[in-house]
């Protein structure tokens, strides 16, 4: 039996059951999705009752801490964006420099190759 025939027979044994399993899974997920949408919605839960009110100073400090946290997050995001911009700029410059060096080297190699080819042609026609 050739390798192709072995693969073909294995494919027939494995592929069709795999497709059948996928279809069963797909139909099961669709039926579960329909079942989830047809059931009645969950009742709303009331807000947690607080036995007493927080002192005004505590609420103010919590608000200030939240504000400071948001400001710190914004500053960190700004620094991250700046660093990403610098890294991108540096990467582009490095890529451009490497491309320039590669083009220069390729040009030099082409020039040497043309010079050698010209010398070989001259030798051929000059009889040396």
In terms of pLDDT, which residue wins out, 32 or 15?
15
Give the pLDDT of residue 101: 92
Q: Is residue 72 pLDDT above 70, yes or no?
A: yes
Among 22, 15, 21, smallest CA distance to 7 is for 15
Using 50, 70 and 90 to split pLDDT, how confident is the model at 63?
confident
Q: Does the residue 84 lie in any domain?
A: yes
Give the pLDDT of residue 67: 87
Q: Does the residue 74 lie in any domain?
A: no
Q: Does the residue 102 lie in any domain?
A: yes
pLDDT tens for 81-127 read 999 989 998 989 998 999 999 998 999 999 999 999 999 888 888 87
Give the pLDDT of residue 2: 65
Q: What is the domain range of residue 91? A: 79-128
Domains identified in the chain, total number: 1
Q: Does the residue 62 lie in any domain?
A: no
Q: Does the residue 111 lie in any domain?
A: yes
Q: Does the residue 72 lie in any domain?
A: no
pTM of the model: 0.42
Q: Does the residue 92 lie in any domain?
A: yes
pLDDT tens for 13-31 read 766 677 677 667 766 665 5
Question: What is the mean pLDDT of the segment spanning 67-75?
Answer: 90
Q: Does the residue 44 lie in any domain?
A: no
């Amino acid at each position: 039996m050739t390798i192709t025939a072995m693969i073909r027979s294995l494919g027939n044994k494995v592929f069709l059951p795999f497709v059948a399993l996928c279809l069963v899974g797909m139909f099961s997920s669709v039926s579960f999705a329909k079942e989830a949408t047809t059931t009645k919605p969950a009742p709303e839960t009331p807000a947690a009752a607080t036995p007493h009110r927080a002192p005004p100073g505590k609420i103010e400090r919590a608000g200030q801490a939240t504000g400071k946290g948001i400001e710190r997050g914004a500053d960190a995001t700004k620094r991250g964006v700046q660093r990403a911009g610098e890294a991108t700029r540096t990467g582009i410059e490095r890529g451009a420099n490497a491309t320039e060096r590669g083009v220069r080297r390729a040009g030099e190699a082409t020039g040497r190759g043309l010079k050698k080819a010209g010398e070989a042609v001259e030798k051929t026609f000059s009889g040396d």
